[in-house]
Amino acid sequence: MKRLWRWLIPLAAVPVLALLAYGFRVSPRDIPSPLVGRPAPGFALATLEGAPLDLAVHGGKVVVVNFWASWCYPACYEEAPVLERNWRGYRERGVVVVGVDIQDKREAALKFVGDFGLTFPVAQDLKGTVSVDYGVYGVPETFFVDRRGQIRLKHVGAVTDEVFKATVDRLLAEPASP
Amino acid sequence: MTRQRKFIAGGVVIALALAYMIYAGVTQSAVYFVTPAELRAAPVPGKAYRLGGMVVPGSLKWEARSLDLSFSLSDGTATVPGYFKANLIMAKHSEEYKAPHDKSEAGYRELLKTLRGEGR
Amino acid sequence: MTADLGYGMTIVALGLALYGGVSAGVGARTGRLALIESAQHAALGVFVLVTSCFALLTYAFLTFDFSVRYVATNTNLGTPFYYRITGVWGALEGSIILWSWMLALYTVILIVRHRVGARELYPWALATMLGILAFFLLVMTVAAPPFQRQVPVPADGRGLNPLLEDTGMITHPVALYLGFTGLTVPFAFAMAALITGRVGDTWLVLTRRWTIVAWYFLSLGLLIGGWWSYHVLGWGGYWAWDPVENAAFMPWLTATAFLHSVMIQERRRMLRLWNISLVILTFGLTLFGTFLTRSGVIASVHAFTQGSIGILFLSFLALVLLTALGLVAWRWEALRSEGELDSVLSRESAFLLNNVLLVAAAFTVFFGTVFPLLSEAARGVKVSVGAPFFNQINVPLFLSLVFLMGVGPLIAWRRASLDNLKRNFLWPVALGILAAALAFALGVRSLLAALTFATTVFVAVTIAVDFTRATRARLRVGESLLPAMGGLLVRHNRRYGGFVVHLGILIVALGVMGSHAWSVQTETTLHRGETAELAGYRFRFDGLTAVEESNHFKVVGTFTVSNGRVLGVLQPAKKFYPQEQAPIAYVDYRLGLREDIYLVLGDFARDGSQATIKLQVNRLVSWIWIGGVVLTLGALLAILPERHKSA
C-alpha cells in the first residue's frame, strides 16, 4: 500500500463517530405530545392549604403547569428553585405557576414545599385524573399554556431558567384574545 | 496470486450475502413510529407499527374473560380504532430517575406496545 | 463530611492517575526507570484511593446517609441490608466507581505480573492503563460524581429500583464489568506493541491468559443477565436484542474471534494486522457499550441516563479509535504478515472463517442497534428493527459457527488431504446426518431443530473422536485409562479446556433451539377454583392474598399445579412500590430439565375473585444454564498454568 493511503485507516472510524454524535441531536424518547396546540384541559383541585385551584380562573394569563413528586430525584429537586425564582420574578406580569403533585403522600409534599419555600399554588392530584388528562407519563413534566388557554410547549425533565424565560417571554408578547 | 484472488472473492461473496440478509431483515422487521394521523394517511395492512396517541375517552373496553382490550387512539386530528393484541410486553426499567418514564401499563397509556394497526 | 471526603479522594486519584500515565510514558520513552517506578507507586495510590471511595460510599449506604444524593436516590429506610450493599452499583455513579475500581485492580495486577518479564512493552501498557483509568476518574469527578451533597437532606430516600432487588443484581454487573475492564489489558499491550514496534508474538503471548479470563467473565455476565431477565422480568424470555444487551454481546463476539485468531498468529505468524485490529475493535466496542448505556442516545430497557456524560464518552471513544488506528497506520509495514494461506481446506481457513462469521455477527448486531439513528439521519423517519431481524441473520451465522467448532480442532494445518478429512470427519458427518434423520423420524419437523441436532451431534462426535484417539495413544504407551484421560486434560489443558467450552456452547445451543422451537404459552382469566390447562399441566387458581413488606406491598396469587398428580404451588405476585408508577410483576416458576413452568400474574379483581394469568411452558431453557456451567469449567481448565508438555 502506498505510504499515504494507510492514513485513511483512522478516518474509517469517523463515519461511525459522526453517526453517534448525531444521536445527541435527537432524543429517542421524544414522543410528540398531541396536546401541543390544543386547549389545556381544565381542572379544579384544592391546594395544600385548602384553597381552590381552578385553571379557568387564570384565563388571560400565561400559565405554567408543573407536574412533580417528592420522590422524583434529582430532577424535581433541581427545578424547584428555578420555578420559585421565576414565579417571583414574573407573577406581577400576568404569569401563574401551578404545581400539581402526583402519586405522593401529603406529608412528603408539605415537606418538599416547605424545604424549598415554594409560594406558588400547589395541589395534589389525588384521583390522578389531571395527570391522565395531560398525558403525563413521568415526572417532572411542565406545560406552558398561553393567554388563550392553549398548550404551547411540553417540557420533559427539569425546567431550566433559560427554557422558562424564553418560553414565557415569548408567550407574554402575544395578545390575550384573537 | 490466484489463491489470494480466491480468498478475496470468497470474502466479497460473504459480504454481499450478509448485505442481502441485512436488507431483507430490515425490510421485514422494521417497526415504524407513527401518529394516528400518519397511519390514517398511509396505512399498510400487515405492517408493524408503534402507535402513539391519546386514548379517546370512553373508548376503552377490557374484557377480562376473553382478554380483549380495545380502545381508540387519537392525536386530535385522526382517530384509529385499536384492537390490542400484545406481541411483546416491553417491561422497561430505567435505573435512574424517570423523566420520561417508560413503563408499559395495561390500561390507558399504551405508548410503547407493538400494535397491529388496521387503518380505517 | 462524607461527601466532601469522597469528592476529595476522587480528585486526588484523578491527579495521581494522570501523573502516573505521563510518568510511565516519559519513562518508557527515555528509559528512565525511576519514572516508571514512580508511575507504579501512583497506580498503587490510585487503587488505595478508589477502594476507599468505594468503602466510604458503601458505608454511607449502610448508615442511611441521605445527605449524599446518590444514597438518597438509591435506597430508603426500608431497603434490606444486602441490597444496601449491592445498591452501591445500582445506578450510574456507582457503576462508574465499580468500573474504575476494577481498572485500578487490574492495573495493580498488571504491575505485579509483568513488571519483570516484559521490559519493553510493560511501561507503555502501564501508561495506557493509567490513561484509561484517568478518563473514568474524570467521569467520576465531572459528569457522574457519586459524592454530591443532597440539600435539603430528605427524611427518607427514594429506594432502589425494585427490579434490582435480586441475587442477579449482586453478580451480573460484577461479572460483566470484570469482563469489560479485563479486555482493557490486551488493548493496553496492543498499544504498547504498536508504539514500540514490537508487533510480533510477544504481546500476544503476554495477554493470552488475560483474554481468556476477561472473555470468561463476559460470558458469565451475559449468562447471568439472561437468567436474571428470565426469572425477574416476567416476559418468559432471556434475551431481547435490547441495545444494551447488544452492547455487551458485540465485544463478546469479537473477543471470541480474537481468542481463536491468536492461535493462528502463534502457529503461523499470520494475521498480525487482523489481530491488532480485533483488539482495538473489541476495546472500542466496550467503550461503545458504556457510551450506549449512559448517553441516552438509543432508548433501551437498561439505559441509565442522559446528559453530558454521553459527550464525554463519545469524545473518549473518538480519541481512542483515532489514536489506535493512527498507530496502526504508522506501523503498517511491520504488521504485514509473513505467512499466507495455503488452502481453503485447512485449520487456518477454518479459523479465519470463524473470525469472519463472528465479526459479521457483531456487525449485524451493531447495525441493528444503531439503525434508529441511521434511519432518522437518512430519512428523518424513526424506525427500529426488532428481534426478528437479529434472529433471522444471526441464527444461520451461529449455526455455521457451531459447525466450525467441529471442523477447526481436527482439520490439518496448511492443507488438509482427502485422507485426513476422511479419517477425522467420516464418523461425525455420518452420525450428524443420522441424528437429523432420527429427529425427523421422531416427529421433529422444524428445519432449524433438525439442523441444530445434526451440527451438535457432529461437533460432539469430533470431540469424542479426538479424545478417544489421544487416550488410545497414551494407553498404547502403557498408561492405564483414568490417568491417561486425566493426564490429557491437565497437560493439554488449553486444548481440552477449549473442548469443554465447546461442549458447553453445544448445550446452550440446544437449549436456545428448544426454547424457540417448542415453547408454548397462553393467557387466560380464571375465577377462584377454576383450572387452566397447558401442555399437560393443570393450573388451579386458589385465591389472592395481600402482604406488606418492608419497602413494598404485594398481592400474591396462589395456584396449584398438577399433571396427574399435584406438583406443587406457584405464587406469582404483583409488587407495588411507592416510588414506582406501575407495579412490578414477580414471576413464579418450576424449573426442570426438559421444561420450565412459568406463571405471571396480570390483572386481578380487587376482591380476589378472579385473576388474569400468563402461562408458559418453556422447553429446554435449563440447558442454557447448564451449558453455562460447563463453559465455566472449560474456561477454568484452560486458564490453569501450563505444565511442561510431554513429548
Residue range of the domain that includes A141: 34-172
Residue keyed to cell 432518522? C376
Residue A31 Cα, gap to closest chain B Cα (Å) = 7
Residue A15 Cα, gap to closest chain B Cα (Å) = 18
pLDDT tens per residue, range C572-612: 888 877 666 567 778 899 888 999 998 888 878 777 788 88
Asked if pLDDT for residue C430 goes beyond 60, the answer is yes
Residue keyed to cell 410503547? B112
Hey, of C389, C575, C600, C610, which one would you mutate to test binding to chain B, going by the most B CBs within 10 A of its CB? Answer: C389
Residue B99 Cα, gap to closest chain A Cα (Å) = 5
Q: Which of these, B65, B110, B104, lies nearest to B84 by C-alpha position?
A: B110
Please tell me which residue of chain C has the smallest CA distance to B21: C393
Mean pLDDT of chain C: 87
Q: Does C292 touch chain B (CB under 8 A)?
A: no
Would residue A68 count as lying in a domain?
A: yes
Q: Mind giving me the DSSP string for A12-56?
A: THHHHHHHHHHTTTS-TT-PPPTTTTSBPPP-EEEBTTS-EEEGG
Say if residues C57 and C146 touch (Cβ distance below 8 Å). yes
How far is A166 from A150, CA to CA, in rounded Å?
17
Asked if pLDDT for residue C257 goes beyond 90, the answer is yes
Facing residue for B65 by CB, picked from C91, C161, C525: C525
Maximum CA pair distance of chain C? 82
- Based on the domain organization, do B39 and B83 belong to the same domain? yes
Q: Domain holding A101: CATH number? A: 3.40.30.10
Asked if pLDDT for residue B101 goes beyond 50, the answer is no
Q: Give the pLDDT of residue A104.
A: 76
Asked if pLDDT for residue B117 goes beyond 50, the answer is no
Would residue A163 count as lying in a domain?
A: yes
Contacts of A140 in chain B (CB under 8 A): 99
Asked if pLDDT for residue B85 goes beyond 60, the answer is no
Going by their DSSP bridges, the two strands C610-619 and C520-527 should be labelled as antiparallel
Would residue A94 count as lying in a domain?
A: yes
Q: Does B101 touch chain C (CB under 8 A)?
A: yes
- Fold of domain C520-623: Tick-borne Encephalitis virus Glycoprotein; domain 1 (2.60.98)
Please tell me which residue of chain C has the smallest CA distance to A157: C306
User: Residue type for C159, please?
Assistant: G
Would residue A157 count as lying in a domain?
A: yes
Please tell me which residue of chain B has the smallest CA distance to C240: B90
Q: CATH assignment of C1-165?
A: 1.20.120
Contacts of A84 in chain C (CB under 8 A): none
Cell of C563: 399433571
- Based on the domain organization, do B84 and B95 belong to the same domain? yes
Q: Does C393 touch chain B (CB under 8 A)?
A: yes
C156-160, C242-246, C506-510, range with the lowest pLDDT: C156-160
Residue C600 burial (CB count, 10 A): 25
- Based on the domain organization, do B51 and B39 belong to the same domain? yes
Q: Which of these, C642, C638, C596, lies nearest to C211 by C-alpha position?
A: C638
Would you call B54 helix, strand, or coil by DSSP? Answer: strand
Contacts of C424 (CB under 8 A, 6+ apart): C410, C411, C462, C465
Determine the average pLDDT of the residues in C506-510: 95
Residue that wins the pLDDT comparison between C241 and B76:
C241
Question: ipTM beyond 0.95?
Answer: no
Residue C17 burial (CB count, 10 A): 31
Determine the average pLDDT of the residues in B24-45: 67
Q: Give the pLDDT of residue B92.
A: 33
The winner for highest mean pLDDT among B73-82, C18-27, C63-72, C552-561 is C18-27
Asked if pLDDT for residue C57 goes beyond 80, the answer is yes
Hey, of A67, A73, A156, which one would you mutate to test binding to chain C, going by the most C CBs within 10 A of its CB? Answer: A73
How far is C10 from C39, CA to CA, in rounded Å?
18
Residue that wins the pLDDT comparison between C489 and C326:
C326
Would residue B46 count as lying in a domain?
A: yes
**C596-602: long-range contacts at Cβ-Cβ below 8 A with a sequence spacing of 24 or more?**
C596/C621, C596/C622, C597/C537, C597/C561, C597/C570, C598/C236, C599/C539, C599/C559, C599/C570, C599/C572, C600/C234, C600/C235, C600/C236, C600/C572, C601/C555, C601/C557, C601/C572, C601/C573, C601/C574, C602/B106, C602/C523
Hey, of B66, B94, B102, which one would you mutate to test binding to chain C, going by the most C CBs within 10 A of its CB? Answer: B94
Q: Is C295 within 8 Å of A23 when comparing Cβ atoms?
A: yes
| Count of domains for chain B | 2
Contacts of C303 in chain B (CB under 8 A): 94
Residue A160 Cα, gap to closest chain B Cα (Å) = 15
**Residue range(s) occupied by CATH 2.60.98 in chain C:** 520-623
- Based on the domain organization, do B92 and B69 belong to the same domain? yes
Q: Give the pLDDT of residue C82.
A: 80
Q: Give the pLDDT of residue C303.
A: 43
Please tell me which residue of chain A has the smallest CA distance to B108: A132
How far is C320 from C135, CA to CA, in rounded Å?
11
| Count of domains for chain A | 1
Contacts of A71 in chain C (CB under 8 A): 158, 578-579
Cell of B55: 386514548
pLDDT tens per residue, range C189-217: 999 999 999 888 889 888 888 999 999 99
Cell of A15: 463515519
Q: Give the pLDDT of residue C280.
A: 95
Q: Give the pLDDT of residue C629.
A: 93
Residue range of the domain that includes B5: 1-30
Facing residue for C326 by CB, picked from A10, A19, A111: A10
| Separation in Å, CA C204 to CA A82, A151, C211, C327, C344 | 56, 63, 10, 17, 25
Residue keyed to cell 466532601? C4
Determine the average pLDDT of the residues in B57-64: 58
How far is C148 from C78, CA to CA, in rounded Å?
22
Residue that wins the pLDDT comparison between B19 and C647:
B19
Residue C195 burial (CB count, 10 A): 21
Residue that wins the pLDDT comparison between A147 and A33:
A147
How far is C486 from B51, CA to CA, in rounded Å?
61
Q: Give the pLDDT of residue B82.
A: 54
Would residue B100 count as lying in a domain?
A: yes
Contacts of C381 in chain B (CB under 8 A): 32-33
Would residue A177 count as lying in a domain?
A: no
Q: Give the pLDDT of residue C94.
A: 86
Residue B120 burial (CB count, 10 A): 9
Q: Give the pLDDT of residue B86.
A: 40
**Angle, CA of C401, C405 and C407, to the nearest 5°:** 110
pLDDT tens per residue, range C17-30: 999 999 999 999 99
**Per-residue 3-state assignment (H helix, E strand, C coil) for A82-110:** HHHHHHHHHHHHCEEEEEEECCCCHHHHH
How far is C222 from C215, CA to CA, in rounded Å?
11
Would you call C2 helix, strand, or coil by DSSP? Answer: helix
Say if residues C603 and C462 touch (Cβ distance below 8 Å). no
Q: Does B61 touch chain A (CB under 8 A)?
A: no
Contacts of A115 in chain C (CB under 8 A): 152
| Separation in Å, CA C3 to CA C10, C69, C133, C147 | 11, 9, 22, 5
Chains in contact with chain B (at least 3 beta-carbon pairs closer than 8 A): A, C
Q: Is C392 within 8 Å of B64 when comparing Cβ atoms?
A: no
Q: Give the pLDDT of residue B31.
A: 66
Q: Give the pLDDT of residue A109.
A: 87
Asked if pLDDT for residue B100 goes beyond 70, the answer is no
Q: Give the pLDDT of residue C608.
A: 77
Dihedrals φ, ψ of A152, to 5°? -110, -25
- In this prediction, residue A54 has a pLDDT band, given cuts at 50, 70 and 90, of confident
Q: Does B52 touch chain A (CB under 8 A)?
A: yes
Would residue B71 count as lying in a domain?
A: yes
Q: Give the pLDDT of residue A178.
A: 63
Cell of A77: 429537586
Say if residues C178 and C102 touch (Cβ distance below 8 Å). yes
- In this prediction, residue B72 has a pLDDT band, given cuts at 50, 70 and 90, of low
Would residue B120 count as lying in a domain?
A: no
Q: Give the pLDDT of residue C461.
A: 94
Q: Is B100 within 8 Å of A73 when comparing Cβ atoms?
A: no
Hey, of C160, C384, C522, which one would you mutate to test binding to chain B, going by the most B CBs within 10 A of its CB? Answer: C384
Dihedrals φ, ψ of C646, to 5°? -80, 165
- Based on the domain organization, do B7 and B43 belong to the same domain? no
Determine the average pLDDT of the residues in A62-76: 83
